[in-house]
């Protein structure tokens, strides 16, 4: 009887030990299991970058916009500032307000340096007339600044500017500045009244237009 108890205890002891012996194979398996981990390491390492880009990259992805590869020949030419610039605009990517009349326009593109390299954190300050050709010279309606994302991209949700009597050509004013660079003051135009080198390429998406324009500025 005693022998049976001793044998039972021994058997239990050995059984208890077996999983421990089984661990080395498991541990041996770990590198195999973790073999994909190195492959997932780059994903992990890109995640913080992706998350830091999240609002912008989500926005471009959500809109199904892939910017065409930039082609740069010259620096973007400057244009007169005009009489309606207001400094210290709010930082925002959307100038849209509820009930704002006009054709919706999504302006997108890169800010690039003279070597055609995208410039992160470049400053852009937009101002424009509303669909009726009127500027808000008291507040900040249809005015706003923003900074390019880590890929040097910007986007602006707005409306197609109207034409006003003193200047019957559709345009959006903008100032652009690379970090530490000089301010470029210029204007963007549209295919119905194009201006060479400063005309937005339009894509009709039915309920809104996408306008593509890349700025090339000196760093
Ligand atoms: Fe103007």
Instruction: State the distance from the centre of ligand 1 to the C-alpha of 171, rounded, in angstroms.
Output: 6
Amino acid 215: pLDDT: 98
71 alpha carbon, distance to own chain's centre: 19
Instruction: State the distance from the centre of ligand 1 to the C-alpha of 34, rounded, in angstroms.
Output: 60
Instruction: State the distance from the centre of ligand 1 to the C-alpha of 83, rounded, in angstroms.
Output: 8
Is residue 71 very low, low, confident or very high in pLDDT (cuts 50, 70, 90)?
confident
Tens-digit pLDDT profile for residues 76-131 = 999 999 999 999 999 999 999 999 999 999 999 999 999 999 999 999 999 999 99
Instruction: State the distance from the centre of ligand 1 to the C-alpha of 176, rounded, in angstroms.
Output: 16
In whole numbers, what is the pLDDT of the chain averaged over residues?
82
- Give pTM, 2 decimals: 0.75
CA angle 72, 125, 175 (to 5 degrees): 50
DSSP 101: -
The rounded radius of gyration (Å) of the Cα atoms in the chain is 29
| Residue 118 contacts residue 112 (beta carbons within 8 Å) | yes
Instruction: State the distance from the centre of ligand 1 to the C-alpha of 23, rounded, in angstroms.
Output: 74
Tens-digit pLDDT profile for residues 156-172 = 999 999 998 889 999 99
Instruction: State the distance from the centre of ligand 1 to the C-alpha of 67, rounded, in angstroms.
Output: 27
């Amino acid at each position: 009887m005693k022998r049976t108890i001793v044998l039972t205890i021994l058997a239990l002891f050995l059984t208890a030990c077996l999983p421990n012996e089984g661990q080395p194979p498991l541990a041996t398996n770990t590198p195999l299991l973790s073999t994909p981990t190195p492959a997932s390491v780059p994903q992990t390492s890109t995640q913080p970058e992706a998350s830091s880009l999240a609002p912008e990259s989500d926005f471009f992805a959500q809109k199904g916009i892939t910017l065409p590869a930039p082609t740069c020949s010259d620096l973007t030419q400057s244009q007169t500032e005009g009489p309606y610039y207001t400094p210290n605009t709010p930082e925002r990517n959307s100038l849209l307000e509820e009930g704002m009349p006009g054709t919706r326009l999504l302006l997108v593109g890169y800010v690039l340096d003279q070597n055609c390299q995208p410039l992160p954190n470049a400053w852009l300050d937009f101002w424009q007339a509303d669909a009726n050709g009127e500027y808000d010279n008291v507040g900040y309606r249809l005015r706003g600044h923003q900074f390019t994302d880590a890929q040097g991209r910007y986007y602006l949700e707005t409306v197609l500017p109207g034409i006003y009597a003193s200047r019957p050509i559709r345009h959006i004013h903008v100032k652009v500045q690379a970090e530490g660079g000089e301010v470029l003051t210029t204007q963007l135009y549209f295919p119905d009244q194009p201006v060479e080198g400063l005309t937005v390429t339009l894509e009709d998406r039915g309920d809104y237009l996408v306008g593509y324009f890349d700025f090339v500025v000196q760093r």
